Structures are given as C-alpha cells and as structure tokens.
Chain A
Amino acid sequence: MTQIQLIVNGKKVEGNVEPRKLLIDFIREDLGLTGPHIGCDTSNCGACTILLNGRAAKSCTMFAVQADGMEILTIEGLATDGKLHPLQQAFHENHALQCGYCTPGMIMSSVDLLSRNPNPTEEEIRLGISGNLCRCTGYHNIVKAISSVAKSHIFVSPVKKEGRD
C-alpha cells in the first residue's frame, strides 16, 4: 500500500492505496465522489474525465499514486456557493444531455477547452470534445451549450493560469 495526499475540489485528502488502484476508483470508491463515471474503462469514452492540475485527464487511465501531490477537480467541485457553473447551467438550458452518463466528463473537457480558448469555432469545440463519447449521440446540443457559454462571455475558469515556456 502507498500513502498519497492530494487536493480534491479544494480539500486536502489522504489515501492509502494499492499502486494498481486506478484514479477513477480512488475518486469514486474511497472519496465517494461518483460524478466522474466509468464508461468504457478502455481510455476511449472520456466519461471519467477530471481536471488534473487544471488539465483534462481520463482518470481511468491513471493510477491513483500518479496523482500524489496533485490538484484534482471533479464535476462536484464546479458549482460555487450552490450555484451551477455557467457550463452546467448551459447544458441544462440547451438540453445538452439525454441519458446524462457522459455529461460530467463532457463538462470537464469543456472547461479545459474554454480555459485555453475562450472563443472556439464550432470545429474547435467538436475537436475539443473528441475525447468524449455521447452514446445517445446528442452532440448537437452539447456543442450548442458550449458555444452559448463562449458567446455570452460568462465562462469563469476554475483553473489558475500557469506560466508557459
């Protein structure tokens, strides 16, 4: 077992994990945060997407030990003071979910996209969520929701800006 410490949705958490424990299972089972989903479990579908140090990552394709010392944001950490994040609100208003299984991952990838590119074209939005599958094939309204947030300039990045080389 390996001792790990990380910050999840702004709170310090500790864990004692077997090295082969996947990050998604640590988040869901040990921390009880069931927002990030396990869809395909083969690194394809993106339902398990979280932000790792501010960048979208598939938490089914990481060991929890790799995240030791890092900062994680899950869908649960996106709303502030009981108010939905603009992307969550836009998904709600645009009917950007049917069964909703892909939604947590879809929204976290959209956060990564808009944090880097506040004014994406439709093509850039579609490329930005190409690591997330919606098996209801409801992409049209998902793209519409992301685009509405970008166009109305209401996106607030939960990610701190970092220096780039």
Chain B
Amino acid sequence: MYPRAFKYERATSLENAIELLSRNREDVRPLAGGMSLIPLAKLRLLSPGCIVDIGRLSELKGIKQDKEWLEIGALTTNTEILESKWLSGSYPLLLDTVKEIGDVQVRNRGTIGGNLAQADSSTDWPATMIALRAKFVSRGPKGERIHDADSFCIEPYTTALDPDELLTHIRVPNPASGSVGASHIKLERRKGDYAIGIVSAQLEVDNEGKCVSVGVGIGAVGVIAVRASKTEQLLKGRRVDADTLAKVGDTVRDSFGGMDILSDIKAPSDYRLDVIGTLAERCISKAYSMAASAGAGQGKGR
C-alpha cells in the first residue's frame, strides 16, 4: 500500500535539516534509512505531512575514535558498522550486536541513529547502548544536547528528542582495560523477526577474574529497553561462578519495576519474563568467559 501523500524535503546540511524540521515541526518526520518509517507509513500507522530526507548528510556518517569514546555518526549504516575496522578490537559488544540485526538488505539501508530514534524495545541497539553506557548527542534549534542511553527512550516509539531535534552521534565509552567480554543474545521465532527477549552484556575483569565493570541491558520484554541494575550489582566485584550465575535470572526479572511487559501471539508476557532469565544466564556466562580468557591472554603477554 502507498503511504499518504506527503511533502518531501531533502536536507542539504545538518543546519538545513534542523531548519526544515523546525519549519514543519507540527507534523514532520526525518527519514534516514527508512527501515522503520517506510513500513509504518505504508501501513498508514504513521502519516507525517512532511518528510525531511536526511539520508545524504555526510557529516553524520562514519566512525572515529577519541580518547574517551568511539563516536559513531547517526547515519552510519549497520553494514558500515559491521565492516568497520574499529569493531574487531575493543568493542566486542558492537560487533556481536550489529551482526544480529535484521538481514543484509536491512543492514545495508538501516542506520544506527534511525534505529535508536525509533525507540523500539524489540530491536537490537537499545539494550546494547544501555549496557555500554553510551551517550547520545542531539542537535536542534537550541543547540546541542547530550543524553544518557538510559533516559533517551521515554516510552515506546518516543524519545527525549523534540520534533525538530536530530540524533547526530552515538558515543560508546572506550573500555578501561583489554579484559573485555561481551555477548548479545536474543530469542526470535525466525531470523529477522521481532525478538521475544534480548540480553546485551559487557564485562571487564581484573587479574583475579573479578568483574570490575558490568553493563547489562534488556530488550523485548519491557515496553522500553531497561538496565538490569540488580544483575549489575550482583556481578560487580565478583567472579562469575555457578552459584552467582544461578541468581542472574531472578535479578534480571527485577529490572522492570511497574513497567508494562510486552505480550503478543508469539510470546505472552509471563513467557517473556520466564525466558529472559535463561537468556541472561547464557549471555553473562558467555561474556564472562570471554573477558576471563582475554584477561588470561593479556597476563601471558606481560
């Protein structure tokens, strides 16, 4: 089906994009890769009067490393991230996440910023960004703002951004040491389907194998992606042994507070809450053994 007719504006620069969004702010949507907006517009679940095409803004594309973080332009496609030279080293969670996204066609067109601004808990990036304690940079008529990954998404499909504000960069903190382990695990009925549960975790261990930093994000269970704070507290300062791992499931289920839990024909909410514990155990176990062996490898090198 065709989307409803809309006014099409193609932005020529970031400044121009913000101006176009501002001028049409009552009824406007920015178009990046279109992997969410176009299907929604075709189903007429979303019918903006004006679409501002930001897809050609080269200033929002590409990846660069800074002292403190890896900075990813919001319009960098998932394929560009997957093939980037930066991923093989210090950012294992980015790699583990991006290769799980959709299919090749979706990765080729879909951008990381477009995904995050869509604020859909059942997709891969939101949980990962929470686990990584990423910062999001946005730009609007009033200038630049920095958001925490935790507070960026307010409710499903709604972010902290104003209608005339654009997500411009994603900053992923550099790990403090080389002993990093990560894992992104999800359950889906078939490849490319909406997930039933997502756990994304990154751990750093010291030379005794104790976790010195822990980040765990959960998606596709709560209506927005959340941090598993109790799981992080459980793991911090500890070696992850069988006893600790056995407690992971219960702590994860404590992450959702009073939040509504997703429920549909594929997975009712009680099933999602049940399965997420098992996924979390597997995810933490995998991330920890990766971190521990990276740590051991480093020790030998010294």
* Inter-chain contacts of B105 with A (CB < 8 A): 46, 49, 56-58, 109, 131
Contacts known (A46-B103, A165-B80); A130 close to B191, Cβ less than 8 A: yes
B53 at the interface (CB under 8 A from A): yes
CA distance A52 to B84 in the complex (A): 20
A80 at the interface (CB under 8 A from B): no
Task: Count residues of chain A with CB under 8 A from any CB of chain B.
Answer: 33
- Asked whether, in the complex, the Cβ of A56 is within 8 Å of the Cβ of B6, the reply is no
* Inter-chain contacts of A152 with B (CB < 8 A): none
CA distance A44 to B158 in the complex (A): 24
A43 at the interface (CB under 8 A from B): yes
- Asked whether, in the complex, the Cβ of A128 is within 8 Å of the Cβ of B104, the reply is yes
> Whose C-beta in chain B lies nearest to the C-beta of A65?
B8
Interface residues of A, dominant DSSP: mixed
8 A Cβ contacts from A105-133 to B: 109, 112-113, 116, 127-128, 130-132
With most chain A CB atoms within 10 A of its CB, the pick from B6, B35, B104 is B104
CA distance A21 to B6 in the complex (A): 11
- Asked whether, in the complex, the Cβ of A43 is within 8 Å of the Cβ of B5, the reply is no
B293 at the interface (CB under 8 A from A): no
B242 at the interface (CB under 8 A from A): no
B280 at the interface (CB under 8 A from A): no
A55 at the interface (CB under 8 A from B): yes
> Whose C-beta in chain A lies nearest to the C-beta of B190?
A130
B141 at the interface (CB under 8 A from A): no
CA distance A93 to B6 in the complex (A): 47
Q: Which of B3, B84, B104 contacts A112 (CB 8 A)?
A: B104
Contacts known (A56-B105, A131-B102, A165-B63); A42 close to B2, Cβ less than 8 A: no
B144 at the interface (CB under 8 A from A): no
CA distance A151 to B261 in the complex (A): 48
Q: Which of A22, A62, A131 contacts B103 (CB 8 A)?
A: A131
Contacts known (A43-B35, A131-B192); A57 close to B109, Cβ less than 8 A: yes
Contacts from B to A (Cβ < 8 Å) = 1-8, 10, 31, 34-35, 38-39, 41-43, 51, 53, 55, 62-63, 79-80, 83-85, 102-106, 108-109, 191-192
9 closest cross-chain pairs (CB), A and B = A131-B103, A19-B8, A55-B108, A130-B191, A131-B105, A130-B103, A58-B105, A56-B105, A20-B3
